[in-house]
Structure 1
Amino acid sequence: MVIGATGQIGRPAVEALARDGWEVTAVSRGGERDGDWPGDVRVVRADREDDAALSAAVGDGCDVLVDVVAFGEGHARQLVSLAGRVGSAVVISSVSVYEDDKGRNFDTQGEPDGFPEYPVPITEEQRTVRPGDSSYSTRKAALERELLAAGDRLPVTLLRAGAVHGPHCRTPRELYFVKRALDGRRRRVLAHGGASRFHPASVHTIAELIRLAAPRPGTRVLNAVDPEAPTVAEIAAAIDAVMGVETEDVLMDGPPAAGGVGGTPWSVPFPVVCDMSAAERQLGYRPVVRYADTLPETVAWIEGQLAARDWREAYPKMVRAYGDLFDYAAEDAWAAARRA
């Protein structure tokens, strides 16, 4: 059973499990069916916030429950309550639970000297934030704590995903470069010398890890990222190649300038790069896709979402997360001042 089956991770996860021979029940609030799923996938409408509805969807039970939308202590307890009817679980977490050895994490990045300086690469042994309900990171940490504590009753594989990318994403970082290309912007400013690295995680990579974990019950925490962590400049160039455009990079030393000039959704002062050795050892994971290989479908999806409507309407969650990503006036003013 896959909870959140029609989301960006759920869709390829259902397909991967079904094609691997599992009888799959796809649970979502709308009860829709994806066109790429095999015909024998069963769809069920249920809101995971409704304990009774989710319990009814599980029914007599399932061998594996995959939850791609679990968030916080409440959802963890909800899953644990199903332990007698569920053989094991695979649950999506996030690399945002990590903090560095000085206690800095994604929640402190807005403070002076607040961005975490992680080891490269980050292993699953890296310390994590204190569980709580104050932020995305602390709620994911609370989810992990509750599930790991109940591992003797419900074996669970927790997958700490990086910067998730692929079709159906509501916050696609690739939007930043796709829209600029569509708008005819042939010059871009990149802070931190264009060298920022924020490890991406393809929906296909995550689906493969789910597929491998499903027949291997156990209580474990694993990173879930692509085989490479390209720099922001490399990402920009790869998107240009897909879209058939050429763009001049203007590399800025240090952080973004006033108005966010030079900042992108990947722009970080220190690298966020994760290690995949544990998944290789414990699940036999081997890379199935590389970042550049997945871009054509991602770009096509974003272009389709932008057709005949404003980007703010197409991606309201991006506006809430990043503000105005396309303040071209501020960028042009910065460029003029630089030339002067």
Structure 2
Amino acid sequence: MVVGATGQIGRAAVTALAGDGWEVTAVSRGGGRDESWPAQVRTARADREDDAALAAAVGDGCEVLVDVVAYGPAHAGQLVSLADRVGSAVVISSVSVYEDDKGRGFDTQGEPEGFPEYPVPMTEEQRTVTPGDSSYSTRKAGLERELLAAGDRLPTTLLRAGAIHGPYSPLPRELYFVKRNLDGRARRVLSYRGRSRFHTASTHNIAELIRLASLRPGSRVLNTCDPEVLTAAEIGAAIDAVMGVTTETVLLEGPPRAQSVGRTPWSTRLPVVADMSAAERELGYRPVLSYTESLPETVDWLARRLDRQDWREAFPALAGVYPDLFDYPAEDAFVNACGGGPDPGPPPQHRRTAYGLGVACGVQVTSALSSLPVSR
């Protein structure tokens, strides 16, 4: 049984499990079906906030319950209450539960000197935030604590995902580059010299770990990320390659300007990189595809969504977190103040370059960005 089956991760999980021979029941609030699922996939309607409805969907029981929409201790208690009818569980968590050795984590990023300094790469042994109800991170930590405490009553694999990407995302970070290209913006600005690294996690790779964990029940925590860790500049170059466009990149020294200029959904002062060796060791995990190999599917889905509606209507969650993600006037004003002139429009030659404006504005002149191989 997959709870949250019509969401971003759930769709891929149902596909992977059905392809592996499981009899799958896809549970969602609307009880819908993805057109790509095999005909034998059953559907059920249940709101996971409704204890009775979820219990009714479980019915006489299931061998594995996959929950991609569990967020706190109450949801953990809900799952544990079904332990007599569930063989094991696989539950999605997040790398946001980690904190550094000074007690800094995702929740302290906005504070002076509050950005966490994690080990690179970071293993599952890294300390985590104190469970609570104050934030997404503390609720996920509470979820983990309660499910791990259940032990053999409900063996649960917790998957700590990175920056999740793929079609049907409510928070598609790739939109930062895709929309600029669709809008004909030939220049973009990246903070931290485009070197930010926030480990990504493809829904296909997450689904593969769900598949493997379903075959080997146990109480464990595993990082869940892609095989490579691209920088923000490399992600932009890879998306350009998929879309067949040319751009210039302004690389800023340090943080974004005016809170929005140069800020991307991957912008971090220090790297967030997860160690994937435990998943390889414990489950024999091998990634299904790389970040760049996953991009054509994502770019196509985003382009089709934007063709029908404004980006804020299409992705309200993203607009809520990044309301100024496409503040082109602010970008142009900053570049003009540094002597760069207006956005040049699409250049005549197909090449990607890094664009320097001078150290007076905290912008460093750099060499050309190299192309990345992309599966089309």
Is the partner of 1:151 in helix, strand or coil? helix
Letter in 2 for 1:142: G
Deviations 1:175-224 (A, max 9, x none): 00000001111111111010000000000000000000001010000000
Contact 1:199 1:225 in 2 (8 A): yes
State the alpha-carbon separation in 1 of the partners of residues 87 and 73 from structure 2.
20
Residue 366 of structure 2 corresponds to none
Residue 318 of structure 1 corresponds to 318
Residue 220 of structure 1 corresponds to 220
Which one is further off, 174-183 or 258-267? 258-267
Deviations 1:140-193 (A, max 9, x none): 000000000002210000000000000000110000000000111111111101
Contact 1:158 1:222 in 2 (8 A): yes
* Unaligned ranges ≥5, structure 1: none
* Unaligned ranges ≥5, structure 2: 341-376
Letter in 1 for 2:9: I
Is the partner of 1:157 in helix, strand or coil? strand
State the alpha-carbon separation in 1 of the partners of residues 301 and 117 from structure 2.
34
Deviations 1:224-273 (A, max 9, x none): 00001100000000000111101011111101111411110001000000
State the alpha-carbon separation in 2 of the partners of residues 116 and 35 from structure 1.
42
Is the partner of 2:139 in helix, strand or coil? helix
Residue 10 of structure 1 corresponds to 10
Residue 365 of structure 2 corresponds to none
State the alpha-carbon separation in 2 of the partners of residues 115 and 226 from structure 1.
23
Aligned residues: 340
Residue 23 of structure 1 corresponds to 23
Contact 1:94 1:159 in 2 (8 A): yes
> 1:73-88 alignment to 2 at 5 Å?
73-88=73-88
Residue 281 of structure 2 corresponds to 281
Is the partner of 2:8 in helix, strand or coil? coil
> 1:106-121 alignment to 2 at 5 Å?
106-121=106-121
Letter in 2 for 1:195: R
Residue 40 of structure 1 corresponds to 40
Contact 1:4 1:69 in 2 (8 A): yes
State the alpha-carbon separation in 1 of the partners of residues 308 and 291 from structure 2.
28
State the alpha-carbon separation in 2 of the partners of residues 15 and 258 from structure 1.
43
State the alpha-carbon separation in 2 of the partners of residues 316 and 34 from structure 1.
22
Which one is further off, 94-103 or 301-310? 301-310
Deviations 1:291-318 (A, max 9, x none): 0001011011111111132111111111
Letter in 2 for 1:218: G
> 1:297-336 alignment to 2 at 5 Å?
297-336=297-336
State the alpha-carbon separation in 2 of the partners of residues 121 and 259 from structure 1.
28
Contact 1:151 1:219 in 2 (8 A): yes
Residue 169 of structure 1 corresponds to 169
State the alpha-carbon separation in 2 of the partners of residues 266 and 18 from structure 1.
33
Residue 181 of structure 2 corresponds to 181
Residue 290 of structure 1 corresponds to 290
Which one is further off, 255-264 or 13-22? 255-264
TM-score, with structure 1 as normaliser: 0.99
Give the aligned CA root-mean-square deviation in angstroms. Answer: 0.8
Residue 142 of structure 1 corresponds to 142
Residue 207 of structure 2 corresponds to 207
State the alpha-carbon separation in 1 of the partners of residues 12 and 261 from structure 2.
35
Instruction: Indicate whether 1:132 and 2:132 are aligned.
Output: yes
Contact 1:199 1:229 in 2 (8 A): yes
Contact 1:259 1:330 in 2 (8 A): no
Runs of 4+ in 1 over 6 A off after TM superposition: none
Deviations 1:16-63 (A, max 9, x none): 001101111100001111111111001001111110010010011000
Is the partner of 2:151 in helix, strand or coil? coil
State the alpha-carbon separation in 2 of the partners of residues 65 and 332 from structure 1.
50
Is the partner of 1:92 in helix, strand or coil? strand
Letter in 2 for 1:205: N
Is the partner of 1:218 in helix, strand or coil? coil
Residue 260 of structure 2 corresponds to 260
Is the partner of 2:209 in helix, strand or coil? helix
Letter in 2 for 1:335: V
State the alpha-carbon separation in 2 of the partners of residues 132 and 169 from structure 1.
26
**Max Rg structure:** 2
